[in-house]
Amino acid sequence: MTRTHTLHAHYRLVRDASCALSAPLSAEDCCVQSMPDASPVKWHLAHTTWFFETFVLERGEPDFRPFDPAFRVLFNSYYNAVGDKHPRPQRGLLTRPDLATVLAYRADVDRRMQALLGAGVTPAQAALIELGLHHEQQHQELILTDLKHLFSRNPLAPAFAAPPPAAAAAPALGWVDFAGGLVEIGHAGRGFCYDNELPRHRVFLEPYRLATRLVTNDEFLAFVEAGGYVEPAHWLSEGWDWRLAEGREHPLYWRREQDWQEFTLGGLVPLDRQRPVVHVSYYEADAYARWARARLPTEAEWEHACAGRPVAGHFAGRGAYHPAAAAGAGLVQLFGDAWEWTSSSYAPYPGFRAGAGAIGEYNGKFMVNQYVLRGGSCVTPENHLRASYRNFFPATACWQFSAIRLARDAPPHPGSG
Amino acid sequence: MTRTHTLHAHYRLVRDASCALSAPLSAEDCCVQSMPDASPVKWHLAHTTWFFETFVLERGEPDFRPFDPAFRVLFNSYYNAVGDKHPRPQRGLLTRPDLATVLAYRADVDRRMQALLGAGVTPAQAALIELGLHHEQQHQELILTDLKHLFSRNPLAPAFAAPPPAAAAAPALGWVDFAGGLVEIGHAGRGFCYDNELPRHRVFLEPYRLATRLVTNDEFLAFVEAGGYVEPAHWLSEGWDWRLAEGREHPLYWRREQDWQEFTLGGLVPLDRQRPVVHVSYYEADAYARWARARLPTEAEWEHACAGRPVAGHFAGRGAYHPAAAAGAGLVQLFGDAWEWTSSSYAPYPGFRAGAGAIGEYNGKFMVNQYVLRGGSCVTPENHLRASYRNFFPATACWQFSAIRLARDAPPHPGSG
Amino acid sequence: MTRTHTLHAHYRLVRDASCALSAPLSAEDCCVQSMPDASPVKWHLAHTTWFFETFVLERGEPDFRPFDPAFRVLFNSYYNAVGDKHPRPQRGLLTRPDLATVLAYRADVDRRMQALLGAGVTPAQAALIELGLHHEQQHQELILTDLKHLFSRNPLAPAFAAPPPAAAAAPALGWVDFAGGLVEIGHAGRGFCYDNELPRHRVFLEPYRLATRLVTNDEFLAFVEAGGYVEPAHWLSEGWDWRLAEGREHPLYWRREQDWQEFTLGGLVPLDRQRPVVHVSYYEADAYARWARARLPTEAEWEHACAGRPVAGHFAGRGAYHPAAAAGAGLVQLFGDAWEWTSSSYAPYPGFRAGAGAIGEYNGKFMVNQYVLRGGSCVTPENHLRASYRNFFPATACWQFSAIRLARDAPPHPGSG
Amino acid sequence: MTRTHTLHAHYRLVRDASCALSAPLSAEDCCVQSMPDASPVKWHLAHTTWFFETFVLERGEPDFRPFDPAFRVLFNSYYNAVGDKHPRPQRGLLTRPDLATVLAYRADVDRRMQALLGAGVTPAQAALIELGLHHEQQHQELILTDLKHLFSRNPLAPAFAAPPPAAAAAPALGWVDFAGGLVEIGHAGRGFCYDNELPRHRVFLEPYRLATRLVTNDEFLAFVEAGGYVEPAHWLSEGWDWRLAEGREHPLYWRREQDWQEFTLGGLVPLDRQRPVVHVSYYEADAYARWARARLPTEAEWEHACAGRPVAGHFAGRGAYHPAAAAGAGLVQLFGDAWEWTSSSYAPYPGFRAGAGAIGEYNGKFMVNQYVLRGGSCVTPENHLRASYRNFFPATACWQFSAIRLARDAPPHPGSG
């Protein structure tokens, strides 16, 4: 009973947060798709609702009738087991249903979900609902990154929010050593996690060290100005081809005007050199690391380094630097600043089991040619952050808040980790 | 004075017609671009306004101040002489300025134009304004064809208007003979025309005959069912490659369900076999004609056949069949039903002179790899129709109301033309 | 009898000429395809042989047995009526049959053809054989242009022949006026022509003038150096897009080293400024003409201007300048120097009839989105040149010896033509 | 001294083997490139020679003079540190230098290398030469796979060798269990290895089992006939998109005629159902494994399973089945049958160090978006096979002899490994 009550409140909280995100936007802002990888805000609002209607209500309501039968296909993202789906690159063509209808769809499904929750749900239903809420939080992050991309393509450079305040000076870059050995990674405990975080398992690590903080815009600018985008020796072969094909000469949202500018959710602003560099591809992260005589961490190194570190504490200080970091003595910016590229290809953990049915398509089928990112960004919902979380994107992806934490091999004696 | 007065009224009439077209649409409907060839309705509304602001007000207002300086680039279509332009395929990314702002832009420019017109304009200004109004009428047609394409991509198949009524039975196809000889084509008289309709000039024609009416859906369906899309011998080599690459098996907006359907501005309706087949490419028109042991007319044949025939009379009966046609004795559907593909590549008339300055970019620079269409369609503004009008599109274009009138060589004795 | 005797000799002459062209080449040179538009030399040798085997021997030999049944598909170019064909872009993958086998195929078909010719042929057979020989001469020209393209892609810049000698100084550019009026074009007389040169028919021409000679490299270089490739106002809209997409900054085979170089069949040599500029696309020809305040001629203007001028006389002086030209008083370089782009889209003449059967696919099905070139180039076989010959290529084509003769409208009084 | 002597003999052996491979081929066969991933045989012959000239002779010959200075660019594959390189997709355009010249190049470099070897080489030189010989052996394998691809595109289906004999019946598929735990992988001992096989390091493995033999054509055909290529649930999302885009309905070289055929180096032959399925992409291997309720092994699982197993013993029996396998009791076909896809993304081992200078570009820069294959195929030179060898290709690659060995998680008690 209590659990349902909590779930009920959680449901309301998460669902309201999505609407709050879109509240300042016009129907036009919510409708357009700026590239195949990004989806319209309206589509995110509808698809997250479709999840509850299709996976919970359709099975749970005694006399289920869909809000609109066409939505089953229209707002299916990729679940082949559910049936046909509308092609992803055409999500932006859906001027109908309009935004008002999609908001009405949300309200209708919320009303029916609350009725279901009020009547009590089975543990299986509760698990599905919890999954749906985490799924919706993922889409809340995408709403912001996709909108940022859309606005970045507009010559008027619209702002979604107030410009970010100037960051405090970044502390000197320090290193923290870890002894490695046979360690455990993967989700532990009773909280929610996705199937791809399981099972918790042993991994053997050589001694390593991690940088205390993320690479700053200032440091990355030094790479740019040292010819980092001109010298192929720094780059993976495929990365160099990507750079040439895309014509990249700096991170995606930088603009080389008289002074360096950066497009942000607060519009076009002078590049803040103290902030972490964000929106870099795996190729750029890897090239920077090689140039800096370092490397990217593996996901196991990253997760092991987090062990025992509180998520909330760091998160509270998004953008600020923790006193420990100022002294160069501890890891900061692990959570809630930017996603950190790891050198680990996204693959199943030993013993991985995908969920049953359509839900089983959630993660497993994307496990090829993607790289794992860890941590969580400034637009990741707070309670979505955890040490075992595995985000993943192709090496070309730049439109997420993706950043760089350096790693190095350490001498083979016990470290401070 | 009278002239300005008439121009003043004409201005108001044309400008209001654009707004009336978009009135039933949502801001979302007006914002999205469904393919690079099509533009968003909002862009059409803004670009036609930009024309007056840039070519008339900027030179004619004593202390000109743009409504928004950014619009100069944003809503330039292709006039290189005016400066930079926003890339065509990205017109659909402009969620800002929103529709309300674009409507305010229209109102502001209209107010200033009316002040200018009230104060009296020079003949040169009057000519530019007249050009601007005809330009806007072209975009009124595009608003409807582009919207139709957008809605056609939506699985919900939205309707912009009431479904079209069933057409009367098409009369039997007859032929009208023309003796040819040395004839004149090109615009004559004092009314408005574009530079590409001039100069009027002599052309020598062999005897020919034209079909009394357009090819119907019923006739085209016979071609489809006879394997017209399967047998390469009917097709131009390039047309066959196009058909394969696009996977075309029937005209663009047909749907092969249990019965044949057609997507229209009134939504998805049963294919009306009595209506002219529309939305065919040059390749399809040419293939049909070859299959029917006929050919497409040249633009000179078409225009010569029109000489002396009233535009208004035919136009009044859009969709209906004229008594003369019912008897198979005269040409019908020349104006206001559908654009008729001709076999003439779009080229300058002998002695062609492009206008001076940016306006000179209006037509001439598109004179390659396009084919001329004549007549005017059911979405062409009525006073935009005339016998000398030269519309033009690439052979691949299908999203206009493009249709087929057959022609044949005639025996070398005097015909009835 | 005499006719067959002549045909017999003609057959031997043309067939031997093809082998002579390929004699200096290695089997490797003959095998590779450098782009989809070009074919390997070996393919040309085989395909021209396939023409005789398929269209003459297969119907004419009492107990026909193909040299190799697989060749029927392998060396069919585009005759759908004959059956399947090997895809054009994959012609370069055929390392088997090897060159020796293809030469044996030629010898075998020649032996059988000579037997047939010796026994006497019907008029229909004779016509087919004559067509086959002209067809082979077209491919002789393609052998050289395709080989030139292949060698141009090789960093070693191989030479097929001795470098061309320095050209004599080009005479000053003059103009010859033509009164126009109702004139006749199209093939006349009893000699061979293709179906697309018929029927001879009347065309009305306004007064015009033609430049006495082709545009030189020197003149075109002035266009390049005046920013001709930088200023979009000179270009057709589609031409400008082509230029940007291809990254063109000068004609295809020019190289901007310390001095301007040009790749020729004689290898890489200094750009000879007195020679006609060649290997320009329709877009480049059109842009140059607009920059020079002129235009390209129509094909009717060109052909009418040639009327009564001897082909052989000009041809004898390939590369040299005729005394009349030196005085600026007459047209030179009409035949045997370079193909001259006309502004005429390739279309059927009024009353055009394609041949029957597979042969009917020879020309008609390419009549869209191509432009007519007239004259004949330095690699066109001499007896292949005639005033009514219509060559045609897409506006993008550069690998033929395509050049520019300027035209202008003339004042409306009698000229000297 | 002895070492140099051995190296001398090894040099001669490997270099002669390359020439022997190409001996039955025509110059045409050696010149053509069938796709960007494949290179012409002539290019392989030249590039492997370039390696010795550039990395050994240029630094080691007192008065080095290149055989041909142009070859430095022409036959550089991807070593940016060496300077410019000829674009990979254009390797097939090089009809010059011809095959005879490339063979002369080989002979010249061999003569100079033998002189150098005769005079004695430093350990660093010896290491480079050894690397060059292993490099050449890699290209010997590519000569055969690239030639197979070229011949497969030829409708004549040429044969390079005698058709393969019918295989013995495959034994029933068995499983061998491994206990896992903390194991070591990576190259050990004093023999040659590439930088990517080092350092030897510890990895923790969960208990697992491996199939005793490779998946057969018969088993894979069952997958095809069960709709394996129709049901997206079996496939990685990206794999399914690949399948659709490529139109794949079976492995690359299979042909669905009346009976199933397979294109082999011995030409087109009936599909031998007892042989291992080869030429499958990672996506196909992964889909088959999922359908078979199994998975692909990791590279660590594979290498650990090999520990202590003789390479030569298995190799001797290429294509045959070892008695142990017939009993289903042991692993067979580990070496010399086909490359086995692993689920491991190609990444640096912990502590990986790339070589210095241009040689350092050998492996490291390809470590993204590729998957590791283990074992070695029927066209891999025998002394090139070893347990620690890491081959790698993108998930899309099919033109190598790539195959499937299934793996499964094992229950957590000691296995038989």
Q: Tokens in use for C239?
A: 């031409």
**DSSP-based helix, strand, coil % in chain B, nearest 5:** 40, 15, 45
Q: What is the pLDDT of residue A141?
A: 98
Average pLDDT of chain B to the nearest whole number? 92
- Residue A25 sits in a domain of what CATH number? 1.20.120
What angle, 0 to 180 degrees and rounded to 10, lies between the N-to-C axes of helices A217-225 and A282-291? 80
CB contact under 8 A, C235 and B365: yes
CA distance D35 to D397: 12
Q: Is A417's pLDDT higher than 80? A: no
pLDDT at A279 (0 to 100): 98
Contact C301, C372 (CB under 8 A): no
Asked if the Cβ–Cβ distance from B32 to A27 is below 8 Å, we say no
Dist. CA D323–CA D314, nearest whole Å: 11
Identify the closest residue of chain D to A235 by CA–CA distance.
D365
**Domain count for chain A:** 2
Mean pLDDT (whole number) for A154-164: 95
Distance of CA A350 to CAs A200, A201, C86, D342, D407, Å?
Answer: 9, 7, 49, 14, 12
Let me know whether A239 and A135 are in one domain. no
Average pLDDT rounded to a whole number, residues B364-390: 95
User: Partners for B (CB, 8 Å, 3+ pairs)?
Assistant: A, C
CB B405 within 8 A of CB B288: no
Q: Is A80 touching D (CB cutoff 8 A)? A: yes
Amino acid occupying residue B210: L
Return the DSSP state at C413: S
Span C371-393, average pLDDT? 95
pLDDT at residue C416, as a whole number: 42
Share of chain C above pLDDT 70, in %: 93
Is residue A164 a part of any domain in this protein? no
Residue C323 confidence (pLDDT): 58
pLDDT in tens, C174-202: 999 999 999 999 999 889 999 999 999 99
Residue C309 has what pLDDT?
79
Enclosing domain of residue B256: 175-409
Q: Average pLDDT for residues B201-219, to the nearest whole number?
A: 98
Q: What integer pLDDT is reported at residue B62 of this predicted model?
A: 92
Same domain? For A192 and A127 the reply is no
Interface test with A, best of B25, B26, B28, B41 (most A CBs within 10 A): B28
- Residues contacting D214, CB < 8 A, separation 6+: D276, D277, D333, D337, D338, D340, D403, D404, D405
- Reply yes or no on whether the pLDDT at D328 is more than 70: no
Please tell me the distance in Å from C351's CA to the nearest CA on chain B.
Answer: 6
Give, in order, the Cα–Cα distances in Å from C376 to each of A61, C131, C334, C387: 80, 18, 8, 9
CB-CB under 8 Å, C32 with D31: yes
Nearest CA in chain A to D282: A368
Q: Is C159 on the interface with D (CB under 8 A)?
A: no
Angle between helices D41-52 and D99-119 (to 10 degrees): 30
In a domain? residue A170: no
Q: How confident is residue B80, by pLDDT bands cut at 50, 70 and 90?
A: confident
Check whether residue D142 and residue D193 sit in a common domain.
no
Quick one: B199 and B310 in the same domain? yes
Q: Are C216 and C362 in contact (CB under 8 A)?
A: no
Q: Are D161 and D265 in contact (CB under 8 A)?
A: yes
CA–CA distance, C14 with D72 (Å, rounded to integer): 43
- The rounded percent of chain D whose pLDDT value lies above 70 is 93
Residue C60 DSSP symbol:
H
Which residues of chain C make contact with B351, given a CB cutoff of 8 A?
206, 409
Q: Do chains C and D touch (3 or more CB pairs under 8 A)?
A: yes
Q: Which of A119, A152, A185 is the last residue of a domain?
A: A152
Contact at CB, A70 and B155, closer than 8 angstroms: yes
List chains adjacent to chain A, taking adjacency as at least 3 C-beta pairs closer than 8 Å.
B, D
In a domain, A168, yes or no: no
pLDDT tens digits for range D247-299? 999 999 999 999 999 999 999 999 999 999 999 999 999 999 999 999 999 99
Give the DSSP H or E segment for B371: strand B371-374
Confidence of residue D360 (pLDDT cuts 50, 70, 90): confident
Chain B closest-CA separation from residue A154 CA (Å): 6
Q: Do chains D and A touch (3 or more CB pairs under 8 A)?
A: yes
Q: Give the per-residue pLDDT at A303.
A: 98
- Out of B239, B351, B369, closest to residue C409 by CB: B351
Q: Where does residue C167 rank: exposed (0-12), middle (13-18), buried (19+ CB within 10 A)?
A: middle
Task: Looking at C153-236, list the stretches that DSSP marks H as alpha helix, in order from N- to C-terminal side.
Answer: 217-225
Structure confidence at residue B109 (pLDDT): 98
Displacement of CA B138 from its chain's centroid (Å): 7
CA pair distance A364, A357, nearest whole angstrom: 12
Indicate whether C394 pLDDT > 80: yes
pLDDT tens for A308-353 read 777 754 444 455 565 555 555 699 999 999 999 999 999 999 999 9
Using one digit for the tens of pLDDT, what is the confidence trace for B297-315? 999 999 999 987 777 544 4
The answer to whether residue D316 scores a pLDDT higher than 50 is no
Give the percent of chain D with pLDDT over 90: 83
**Count of alpha carbons within 13 Å of C339, Cβ hemisphere only?**
27
pLDDT for C338 beyond 60: yes
Minimal CA–CA distance to B308: which of B334, B342, B341, B340?
A: B334
Same domain, A181 and A134: no
Task: Tell me what the pLDDT averaged over chain D comes to.
Answer: 92
Side-chain half-sphere CA neighbours of A77 within 13 A: 23
pLDDT of residue C313: 44
Chain B hits for A94, Cβ within 8 Å: 154, 156
pTM of the shown model: 0.95
Token reading at C119: 């026994």
Select from D27, D70, D156 the Cβ nearest to the Cβ of C156: D70
| Cβ within 8 Å, pair C395-B204 | no
Q: Least CA distance to C86: which residue of chain D?
A: D155
Distances in Å between the Cα of D218 and the Cα atoms of A366, B56, C90, C305, D276 are: 29, 77, 32, 73, 8
**8 Å CB contact between B170 and B213:** yes
pLDDT exceeds 60 at position C417: no
Three-state secondary-structure class, residue D103:
helix
Distance CA(C83)–CA(B233), nearest Å, equals: 11
Residue D192: burial class (beta carbons within 10 Å; 0-12, 13-18, 19+): middle
Q: What is the mean pLDDT of chain C?
A: 92
Residue tagged 């901007």 (tokens)? C256
- pLDDT, mean of residues D81-109: 92
For A78-90, the pLDDT digits (tens) are 777 777 788 888 9
Kind and range of the H or E run holding C246 = helix C237-246
* Residue D189: CB atoms within 10 Å: 9
Considering the domain architecture, whether residues B179 and B148 belong to the same structural domain is answered as no
Distance, in Å, from the CA atom of C334 to the CA atom of C315, rounded to the nearest integer, reads 8
Residue A28: pLDDT band by 50, 70, 90 thresholds? very high
List residues bridging with D340 in a β-sheet.
Answer: D374, D403
Amino acid letter, residue C102: V
B416 phi and psi angles, rounded to 5 deg: -95, 0
For residue D216, the cross-strand partners are D276
Residues D145 and D210 in one domain: no
The reply to whether B103 touches chain A by the CB within 8 Å rule is no
Q: For residue C26, which residues of chain D lie inside 8 Å, CB to CB?
A: 27, 95, 98
Range with lowest mean pLDDT among A319-323, B273-277, D340-344: A319-323
Residue D157 lies in a domain: no
B344 neighbourhood in chain C, CB within 8 Å: 347
Domain endpoint, select from B91, B117, B152? B152
Please tell me the predicted confidence (pLDDT) of residue B86.
84
Cα(B93)–Cα(D267) distance, integer angstroms: 54
Residue B157 resides in a domain: no
**ipTM of the assembly?**
0.94
Q: What is the mean pLDDT of chain A?
A: 92
Residue D76 and residue D18 share a domain: yes
* A294 shares a domain with A200: yes
Confidence of residue B52 (pLDDT cuts 50, 70, 90): very high
Q: Which of B4-13, C205-214, D21-30, D43-52 has the lowest mean pLDDT?
A: B4-13
Higher local confidence (pLDDT), C401 or A353:
C401
Q: Are B320 and B168 in contact (CB under 8 A)?
A: yes
The reply to whether B316 touches chain A by the CB within 8 Å rule is no
Q: How many Å apart are CA C7 and CA B412, to the nearest integer?
A: 37
Chains that touch D (3 or more CB pairs under 8 A): A, C
Q: Report the pLDDT averaged over residues B311-325.
A: 53
CATH assignment at residue C205: 3.90.1580.10
Q: Which two tokens stand for residue C294?
A: 């002129």
Mark whether C82 and C191 lie in a shared domain.
Answer: no
> Average pLDDT for residues B215-227, to the nearest whole number?
98
Nearest to A251 by CA among A262, A236, A239, A264: A262
Which of A27, A92, A154 lies nearest to residue B96, judging by beta carbons? A154
Interface of A with B in 272-291 (CB under 8 A): none
Q: Which two tokens stand for residue A129?
A: 């609902």
Among all residues of chain B, which has the CA nearest to that of A31?
B28
Q: Under an 8 A CB cutoff, do A282 and D368 touch? A: yes
> What tens digit of pLDDT does each residue of C87-104 get?
888 999 999 999 999 999
B121-162 residue pLDDT tens = 999 999 999 999 999 999 999 999 999 999 999 999 999 999
B184 touches chain C (CB under 8 A): no
- Does residue D417 surpass a pLDDT of 90? no
Based on the fold, state whether residues C94 and C224 are members of the same structural domain: no
For A386-414, the pLDDT digits (tens) are 999 999 999 999 999 999 999 999 986 54
Burial A343-376 (b: 16+ CB within 10 A, else e): bbbbbbbbebebbeebbbbbbbbbbbbbbbbbbb
Give the closest of D93, D151, D156 to C154, CB-based.
D93
> Could you tell me if D218 and D146 lie in one domain?
no
Residue A229, both tokens? 């985008």
Give, for C15, the enclosing helix (H) or strand (E): helix C2-22
List the A267-270 sheet strands across, edge first: A254-256, A260-264, A267-270
Task: Report which of C207, C216, C210, C205 is spatially closest to residue C175, judged by C-alpha positions.
Answer: C210
C-alpha A207/C-alpha D56 separation (Å) is 37
Whole-angstrom distance, CA of residue C413 vs CA of residue D143: 72
pLDDT of residue D354: 84
Question: Is the Cβ pair A93, B150 closer than 8 Å?
Answer: yes
Residue D2 reports pLDDT greater than 80: no
The residue to which tokens 């940007």 are assigned: C244
Q: Which residues are registered as beta bridge partners of C254? A: C262
Query: Which chains reach chain C with 3 or more Cβ–Cβ distances below 8 angstroms?
Result: B, D
Answer whether A351 touches D (CB < 8 Å).
Answer: yes
For residue range B88-131, list pLDDT tens digits in order. Answer: 889 999 999 999 999 999 999 999 999 999 999 999 999 999 99
Distance between B300 CA and the closest CA of chain A, angstroms: 40
Does residue A204 lie in a domain region?
yes
Domain presence at residue D289: yes
Is residue D415 scored above 50 in pLDDT?
A: no
The reply to whether residue B95 touches residue A29, judged by beta carbons under 8 angstroms, is yes
Each residue's pLDDT tens digit, C198-216: 999 999 999 999 999 999 9
**pLDDT exceeding 70 applies to what percent of chain B?**
93
Q: Evaluate if residue D204 carries a pLDDT over 50.
A: yes
- The answer to whether residue D7 is domain-embedded is yes
Final residue belonging to a domain, choices B152, B167, B190: B152
Nearest-by-Cβ selection for A236 from D182, D238, D365? D365
